[in-house]
Chains A and B, each alone.
Chain A
Amino acid sequence: MSDETLTEERPAPERIDDVVIRFAGDSGDGMQLAGTQFTASSALFGNDLATLPNFPAEIRAPAGTIPGVSSFQVHIADWDILTPGDNPDCLVAMNPAALKAHLHDLVKGGLLIINADAFDDRNLAKAGYDTNPIEDGSLDAYRMLTAPMEELTKEAVKDSGVKGRATLRSKNFFALGLMSWIYQRPVEPVMDWVKSKFGEDSPVTNANISALKAGYNYGITTEAFQHTFEIQPAELPAGEYTNIVGNTATAWGLMAAAEKAKLPLYIGSYPITPATTILEELARHKNFGVKTFQAEDEIAGIGTALGAAFAGRLAITTTSGPGLALKSETLSLALMIELPMVVVDIQRGGPSTGLPTKVEQSDLLFAMYGRHGESPLPIVSTTTPSDAFDAAFEAARIALKYMTPVILLTDGYIATSSEPWALPDLDTYPDISVPFASHDEADGPFLPYERDPETMARPWAIPGQPGLEHRVGGLEKDSTTGNVSYDPDNHEAMTHTRAAKIARIQADIPDVEVHGEGDELLVLGWGSTFGAIRTAVNRVRKNGRPVAHAHIRHVNPFPANLGDVLTQYKTVLVPEVNTGQLARLIRAEYLVPTVSFNRIQGQPMRAREVEAKINELLDGEAGE
């Protein structure tokens, strides 16, 4: 903002530690963009943050209706936060449907910012309101501030060169400007972004910047908005940070793995929500030697990846639940012929098409068992958006070292959410390259199934290597020559060998760490529930009650110490966004009783709910 506006008299902002803001509007209202830009400014300002986008599966559900509402939640703080927050402290509602869909989440007494222009009879009817909530007193429990955002936007952009209905498109920038004022965010980064996106001096740039400034200035000049807030930069560990979205971290982690494996990266994939952005991200980096292949279907996605693996590349395929089902048969071939590959499954609500844009952890048992025959595979999971980088790297490491396909499980929440990422020193990542097979003809014929004594991996001989010509295939293999074998003892031995190779990975993964204290209650989680569980556990501990948290990255095989850890606690609580799939695996593997806490609403696990469950269990034990 210009200096003259900044020097005007105004009350000092109220200092707060953190705030959860949700931008909600029609899919066409640009709320994802407003939220992302608000987040970017906050990141550059130095806050810690976590985001949660939430959009309909339909590209354009009918405008003004509740199914058409799209939202973006961001939690910004001056301390180290782990979740995008359970309930917003502030809700921006761009139309009645957005208000109706999200009001029930807003904390009582929370701030409600409303685009009054959208509250006409037609929109009210579409959202199912009989009376106008702005006027009928039903919002008295909140601090409501309304602004005629559409009128003011139209006025602000009238000289921009944008004409007609298109002028209204900038209203998200008006809202963003107003929110930037209320929460004292810098708007310069937004203006820079608009210019880089739409051109230094294009009509769209002018319109968006004018609307942004108009929103900000409206906050300054309007009495109603004099109560502002300020969130200081977070005391994050020293370092260089960027704001990273989970799928980008996954893509970059795979690229880093390829570099450390000294192999070109090859991804064969078919577009599917919410995995597609990994393919898109990788497609932008051909200059890294990355080959991206958009296949004709999911089966060809993994098929081309498997072919690339045979040809000696770091092979990747990405998908979500329905696609993993289609890939299942080829995945079995990949483990039969023991070629390295990473299959990234971005879990979403299922079964069938289910909730394509929502989160669920319901593919765990499918990843574990969803193949014909005895077909064990390593499974690696991801805790947070930035953690996806390391998880992807780890999945690739295991795949190459043990010559096996690996399933990397992330989910729709991790895929689209963002958080600050302390940029790692890439030089500290290990060399994960594996030598291709070598063979001296004097030693007799090349044996493609003769295993490394330590890892049990078979040699990787790739087309083009002379003297190592060999055939692999789905038929059972002789244990050394790899030739087709129908021998009963050989089949039994090979079945055990394939399992033993995966089990052996346990010795090569870190122990699970326990955070917290006591021997009453362990909260055991995996995947994207990390933030909610850790936040809940820390809140309970702050109240002086003993509770511990362990979170599993390696779901198969489990960390070596997991069994010992579990038996140290009277109760093991397993919160999951499914009906209790990890709990089943734990009980089957360790014969340890568990208490499940399950939420299957397409939303990330909420810290508050986990906290309540922990307290309930601790109360119960205390009462006994």
Chain B
Amino acid sequence: MTDTARYERSDFQTDQEVRWCPGCGDYTILASVQTYLASLDIDREKHVFVSGIGCSSRFPYYMNTYGMHTVHGRAPAIATGIATANPDLTVWVITGDGDGLSIGGNHLIHALRRNVNLNIILFNNQIYGLTKGQYSPTSEVGKRTKTSPLGSIDRPFNPVSLALGAEAAFVARTLDMDRNHTIDMLRQMHEHDGAGLLEIYQNCNVFNDKAFIDLTDKSTRDTNRIWLEDGKPIIFGPNDEFGVVVDNIGAKIVEVSQVGADAIHVHRADDPNPSVAFALSRISQGPYGPTPLGVFRNVKVPSYGKVLEQQIAAAQTDKGAGDMAKLIRSRGTWTVDA
């Protein structure tokens, strides 16, 4: 925090007791979001947090901004109403893998394809936490839970692939415990005009602990975190010994020494064609083994809220401001004399 900052993190905290389980990844994410908002020169009252139902959806109660805790799965739709009614607002959607990808999947993909001015944070813990541990649409095949005692036979979504399939203009992924990276992703999403989806791997230490262990454990994380950085070759590993190449078939992991540094794919988040970003999202189907993190896609597309405003302005220039008295006479009238 610099001296010139308008806000402290505490300006974004409420007096409500935070009620997540001790150790839950949600705490870290809350801190990252509050820290990021405090760093901005945006009036606190211009932020709106909208959530659905689930553990993470309690989030708005803990943010000292405008907020709405809504209906299961419907946050993207309700937030769309806010953001299109008033495009001057900064609207954040807080959702989870059950809320956003199961019951609310439809609203999520439509908000993304329309490029509504929304910042969507998807807390992916690969489990239903609030209802105490049932498999979710991102749980791995074979997962044993109370509703899948013999192992889940659902094939999971990869949220990044799904968002790219919906042609979202901004798609990124991060880890709850990496606050700096989370804040960087929040910043890039926020600076992007239109719909953004940030998937955060969020540890549910009560019902699905260590789901992201490949990416978080000291012994494995350097081998498994593939950092995507715009304009840079995609190399990773403790000694940068691995890289990603992209060909007509897709993206795959190689040893840099085998293909030569020049063959390594240079990441371009602003590539208008989403196919390469999609290929990168397929390197791992979930947080198992080497998994890309960072901004997959960041392209400029006019945001829905702005285009709608432009249509209205154009209609007013074209036809003049509306006149009700004229409108009700517009279908032809006749007069009955007294």
Footprint of B on A, CB under 8 Å? 40, 43-46, 189, 233-244, 248, 252, 255-256, 259, 264, 266, 268, 285-291, 293, 295-297, 299-300, 303-313, 315, 329-330, 333, 337, 423-424, 426, 462-475, 483-484
Contact = CB atoms under 8 A, between A and B. Distances in A.
B69 A287 contact: no
What is the interface of chain B mostly: helix, strand, loop, or mixed? mixed
Interface string B79-103: 1111111101100000000000000
A238 B60 contact: no
A303 B70 CA distance: 9
B86 A312 contact: yes
A330 B318 CA distance: 37
Contacts of A296: 77, 106-107, 110
Nearest to A233: B336
Contact of B81 (A252, A303, A462): A303
Contacts of B53: 474
B80 A293 contact: yes
What is the interface of chain A mostly: helix, strand, loop, or mixed? mixed
B282 interface: no
Given A252-B328, A471-B68, A474-B70, A288 B334 contact: no
B218 interface: no
Contact of A467 (B45, B78, B308, B316): B45
Contacts of B331: 242-244, 248
Contacts, number: 217
A143 to B, nearest CB: 31
B324 A307 contact: no
B333 A423 contact: yes
Contact of B322 (A237, A268, A287, A303): A287
Given A303-B80, A472-B69, A238 B338 contact: yes
Contacts of A465: 45
Contacts of A299: 74, 77, 107
A290 B316 CA distance: 11
A286 B85 contact: no
Nearest to A305: B81
B311 interface: yes
A264 B327 CA distance: 17
Counting contact residues on chain B (CB < 8 A from A), the size range is 35 or more
Nearest to A304: B81
Contacts of B337: 238
B139 interface: no
B335 interface: yes
A46 to B, nearest CB: 6
Contacts of A248: 331
Nearest to B90: A463
A290 B311 CA distance: 11
Contacts of A462: 66
Interface in B186-232: none
B70 A255 contact: no
Contacts of A237: 336
Q: Sort A-B residue pairs by CB-CB distance and give the 6 closest, nearest first.
A: A307-B81, A473-B69, A288-B322, A303-B77, A304-B81, A300-B77
Contacts of A474: 53, 69-71
A252 B323 CA distance: 11
Given A300-B107, A472-B67, A473-B70, A287 B321 contact: yes
B321 A288 contact: yes
A426 B322 CA distance: 14
Name which of B16, B107, B334, B338 has the most chain A CB atoms within 10 A of its CB.
B334
